[in-house]
Amino acid sequence: MATNATIKYYPVGNGDMSLITLEDKTTILTDCNIRNCDSDEVYDAKADLMKSVQFDRGIPYVDVFILTHGDQDHCRGFKKHFYQGAPENYSEANKKEELIRVDTMWFSPMIAEEHSNEDEDAYQQEAERRLALHRNNDSKKDNRGNRIKIIGYDGNADYQDLNYLRAVPGDIVTRFNDRDQTLFSIFIHAPFKEHLEAMGDDKKNSTSIVFQARFRNTTYQTGFSTLAMFGGDSDHTSWCIILDKTKKYNNESALEWDLFLSPHHCSWSFFNDRPQAENPDPKKTSLQVLDYKRTNAKVIASSKKIEKNDDNPPHYQAKSEYVKKVTESNFHNTTTYNVVNNTPQPIIYEVTQQGIVKPKKVEGSARVTGGAALGAINTPSTYGNGEV
């Protein structure tokens, strides 16, 4: 049986990191927040990623990396864990360091102009390196590890000459890492031009890349098996414009969703301005966005445990609004969804023609052996009564 596409939301606290794996094993990583794993409570996202990506002659790679915006909690670990520089210089030492090559990066010029952290800088520099290759028509520009897609419009820098690399809101992307996909596409919602004109104080958040990932299981299928919405930290004003524009251009199907990654880690900013106490009523437009949910749709809060306190996000009130729409059983928090030995585990869905299902349970076997990681092997065992 062909393997189905999967969507994995990593438990990375208040941060985002999601991996889409298509049935042909193409991987699309949206944001990363790879923290140091010095405590049991931190899930080892890097180790998981190494098991999830493909290898090209021993080099681990993701087909596409989409950085929704440059906040630290969306790109933490990029500099340390992803390869930057000319792909032909990837060394044996880099292999040992398990640096993941980004075959194609998705880059939004608008969101990348205010650098606030070194991971974002690294992403920006790598993007500029690739853009320069394309601008100079370098013979290596289309090699894996040099590919780049420009999302949305230009900020201060002018990339008009590279418009063939660009996708703007309203576009549907079907080609990923130089390969056409027949069962998967991405509808781009944001960032749009209005962002350039009216940028609020939280500029980066409001200008996140927002997209709808669309899955089908067969080419003759009418409609989609699964629709998953990703929106970085986009706020209610962005969503208001998205709603407005998408309706205006008769693209309402691009608003539907089965999976909704709650923006900004279940922040109130999706519903209204913060602080919530001053703006306690959710905007109608935000609620309308949620009404495009399909049957049994689920909201994912990629955040810390959601508690009724002042440590926001995540906002307890935001969760309440989501639950009103999808019911408690369809609202999942990455930190609490599935905890094994104190460590939160990823939320994974598999795409079937009838929508999403949890991954199948894995059968065991009657024959077992212990692995090298067994505690018993890694700690001394004493037997008998006396001292050794």
Partner 1 sequence: MEMERFSDSLPIFSDKIENPALQDSLNSLKILTKKSLSIHDWGNGRIGVPIVISVELPSLGNIDNIDIKAKEQIVLVFNLLNYPYEAPVVYTDRLDFPKDQLAHFYIAANNRPPAFCYVRCNRDEWYANKRIEDLIIRIANWLGDAAAGELNEDGEQFEPLRLEGYSGTIIYDYDTMVRPVLTNTPLLTYKNLSIALFERGLDINQKTYRFVKFLNPDNAIDTLKEVDIENQKKKDDSTRRKYHYGYLLWADEHTVNSQYSVNLPKNWADFKLFCAFFQIDYNHLENCLIANFHLNRFIHFPVIVAIRRTKPLIGYSSNIELINFRFWLKLEHIKDGKIIDDIEINFFSHNQPLTQKLAAKISNFQLENGFRTLVFGCGALGSKIIMHLARSGYPKLSLVDPDSLSPHNLVRHTLFAEHEGENKAESLARAINKMYPLESAPSFGFSDKEIINQKPLIEIHNWIMDFTASPAFFNTLSIGQHIVEKNVLSAMISDFGNLGILYREGNGRNPRIDDLQAHLYNLSLQKSEIKDWLKREKLAHSNTNLNVRVGIGCNSETTVLSDDKIASHASFFSGIIKKEMNNVPDNGKIFLSQISDDGVYSITTNTIKVAPVHIYQAINDNSWSVRIQSEVYEKIMKEFSKAKRNETGGVFVGYCNHKTKIIYVVDSIRAPKDSKANSIHFMRGIDGLPEEIENAIQSSGGQIGYIGEWHTHPKGPNALSDQDMESVGKHKLEFERLNPPLPVFLTIITPNGLFPFVY
Tokens of 17: 């990191």
Choosing from 96, 248, 308, 361, the residue that interacts with partner 1 (CB under 8 A) is: 361
Residue from 71, 120, 258, 321 touching partner 1 (CB under 8 A): that is 258
When asked if residue 8 is in the footprint of partner 1 (CB under 8 A), the reply is no
Backbone angles phi, psi at 59, to 5 degrees: -95, 120
Among 137, 160, 218, 222, binds partner 1 (CB under 8 A): 218
Strand partners, 62: 102
By CB under 8 A, is residue 355 in contact with partner 1? yes
Site for partner 1 in 56-95 (CB under 8 A): none
Tell me the window of 36-44, 59-67, 332-340, 346-354 that interacts with partner 1 (CB under 8 A): 346-354
Burial of 278 (0-12, 13-18, 19+ CB in 10 A): exposed
Determine which residue in the list 309, 367, 373, 382 makes contact with partner 1, applying CB under 8 A: 367
- Binding-site member from 220, 371, 378, 382 for partner 1 (CB under 8 A): 220
Do the beta carbons of residue 1 and residue 44 sit within 8 Å?
A: no
| Pairing verdict, β 54-56 and 59-66 | antiparallel
Of the candidate residues 40, 180, 363, 387, the single one contacting partner 1 (CB under 8 A): 363
Q: If binding is defined by CB under 8 A, does position 299 make contact with partner 1?
A: no
Cα distances from 282 to residues 120, 235, 273, 317, in angstroms, run 32, 12, 9, 10
Shortest spacing between CB 332 and partner 1, in angstroms: 13
CA separation for the pair 282, 15 (Å, rounded): 23
Q: Does 296 bind partner 1 (CB under 8 A)?
A: yes
Cα-only R_g, the chain: 22
DSSP code of 27? Answer: E
Question: CB of residue 351 vs partner 1: minimum separation in angstroms?
Answer: 9
Contact 21, 6 (CB under 8 A): yes
Nearer to partner 1, 339 or 357 (CB): 357
Q: Kindly report the backbone phi and psi dihedral angles of residue 251, in degrees, each rounded to the nearest multiple of 5, phi listed first.
A: -110, 35
Cβ closest to partner 1, residue 205 vs residue 225: 225
Nearer to partner 1, 6 or 124 (CB): 6
Q: Which helix (H) or strand (E) holds 151?
A: strand 147-151
Nearest distance from residue 239's CB to partner 1, in Å? Answer: 23
CB 331 within 8 A of CB 322: yes
- Can you give the binding site for partner 1, defined by CB under 8 A? 1, 4, 217-218, 220, 225-226, 258, 294-298, 352-358, 360-367
